[in-house]
Amino acid sequence: MGKDKKLNAEQKIIEAAADIFETKGFEGARMQQIADKAGINKALLHYYFRSKDLLFEKVFLKLAGKIFLKFIETFNIEGSIFDKIEMFLQIHQDLLYKNRKFPIFFFNEITRNPDLMRKLMLNLEISKKFQEITKQFDQEKKDGIIRQDVEVSHLIVNIISLSVFPYIGSPAIKEIMKEFDLNYEQFLDERRTMIAQFVINSIKV
Amino acid sequence: MGKDKKLNAEQKIIEAAADIFETKGFEGARMQQIADKAGINKALLHYYFRSKDLLFEKVFLKLAGKIFLKFIETFNIEGSIFDKIEMFLQIHQDLLYKNRKFPIFFFNEITRNPDLMRKLMLNLEISKKFQEITKQFDQEKKDGIIRQDVEVSHLIVNIISLSVFPYIGSPAIKEIMKEFDLNYEQFLDERRTMIAQFVINSIKV
DNA sequence: GTCTATATTGGGATAGAC
DNA sequence: GTCTATCCCAATATAGAC
């Protein structure tokens, strides 16, 4: 029986809060519900985190930080640009698949409060990572491996758009697919290989 | 001086509510703020719409209906599949450009309450429209104009992903671009032609 | 550190005059 | 149909015992 046999209150709160906030959003979440889920009293939330705002910020930065860390790790993949894109998409898709509720939550919260994005970037040095990958891709372009009219910033946004949007738009896609007896889970699965193919076709010379 | 010299209260409320809901979301919006913006009293909101829920549903379906109507109109464009994609993207981009706050609002609200999507579809017969365009694209595939491995449902989702995501993710993209002194507005503008090129490169034989 | 009880404010909703 | 005044519950936050 290690120290995690019984998590301390602070840790239990953070886990419960992450779950409630991710599902309901900051505005929709209730402190009572978080306390219930953590199995502790509501007053304890304020004892540890002072206010809903502060609890949210801590939880948001921790959760988003964890996910973005895994996300930017993939920038270090070695190999040709095509290998990089395929590997990047594989890992990225896995990450999304395991954190389906995260994208809409994340983008909604940073829309409500863009300062959260700024704070997240300071924590993770995201800009630096983007600069690195941009430089790598630009080199591949100079070497004539990909089309000369491919603009790297757009390529990156395109890759992310193609993999993230199906999760953000899932209630809409699901509802439309239901009409035609199509399976959303299968649809997501097909995209795992399809997206890489789609991107590579569009950039190769 | 026509009848719109002074809008009636109901109309003023709907316009004010659309604006507040779109910016703050259902959970974040306040009835008081809507009343203030409409220039009327809070009690009048309840007189006309009974509750916040009912006001929201009416406003959401009206706003989303208006935008989706313009969106699905583009399905009727005539010409080759490449013309269709280019025209569709042009109109779609204009629509998004004029309704920047709509995408994240829309997807957040249907995530909170998927039934809204179902109601919207019933109002607009969206499924039927999707079926029509799917059939058109499938024909182009049979005719050998586009790659045989292009799956039509994915192609449609890809096109929408590429144009909608930059708006959903705007606070993130803006923040990252700021670090490199890049201009988000210019970025959006570049995408107008880039996306069509990207898509067409990826599907042409 | 954790609880119960309570304060306080915010916000949706209603009563009733005009 | 529009207003002022008010109700009432929900939700954040605090006080204080243990």
Q: What single-letter DSSP state applies at residue B54?
A: H
In 10 A of CB A17, how many CB atoms? 27
> Cβ of residue B43 near strand C, that is under 7 Å?
yes
Q: Give A40-70 pLDDT, tens digit per residue.
A: 999 999 999 999 999 999 999 999 999 999 9
CA distance, residue A130 to nearest chain B CA (Å): 8
CA pair distance B114, A3, nearest whole angstrom = 41
Report yes or no: A148 at the B interface, CB cutoff 8 Å: no
What mean pLDDT is reported for chain B? Answer: 94
Report yes or no: A153 at the B interface, CB cutoff 8 Å: yes
CA pair distance B87, B56, nearest whole angstrom = 33
Dihedral sign from CA coordinates of A152, A91, B106, A30: negative
Which chain B residues are Cβ-neighbours of A158 within 8 angstroms? Answer: 162, 195, 198
CATH of domain A64-203: 1.10.357
**Cα distances (Å, whole numbers) of residue B61 to A25, A99, A197, B67:** 22, 29, 37, 10
Q: Return per-residue pLDDT of chain A as tens, 205 residues.
A: 334 446 799 999 999 999 999 999 999 999 999 999 999 999 999 999 999 999 999 999 999 999 999 999 888 888 888 999 999 999 999 999 999 999 999 999 999 999 999 999 999 998 888 888 899 889 989 999 999 999 999 999 999 999 999 999 999 999 999 998 999 999 999 999 999 999 999 999 8
* Nearest C-alpha neighbor of B159 from the set B75, B99, B100: B75
Contacts A–B by Cβ distance under 8 A = 145
Which residue ranges make up each domain of chain B? Answer: 1-50, 61-203
- Candidate from B130, B172, B190 with C-beta closest to A151: B190
Please report, rounded to whole angstroms, the spatial distance between the CA atom of protein residue B39 and the C1' atom of nucleotide C15: 22
CATH of domain B61-203: 1.10.357
Residue B118's closest chain A neighbor by CA?
Answer: A175
CA distance, residue B162 to nearest chain A CA (Å): 6
Q: Report the nucleotide nearest the CA of residue A48, measured to C1'.
A: C1
CA distance, residue B175 to nearest chain A CA (Å): 7
The answer to whether domain B1-50 has CATH 1.10.10.60 is yes
Confidence of residue B3 (pLDDT cuts 50, 70, 90): very low
Q: Give B156-176 pLDDT, tens digit per residue.
A: 999 999 999 999 999 999 999
Q: What is the pLDDT of residue A203?
A: 95
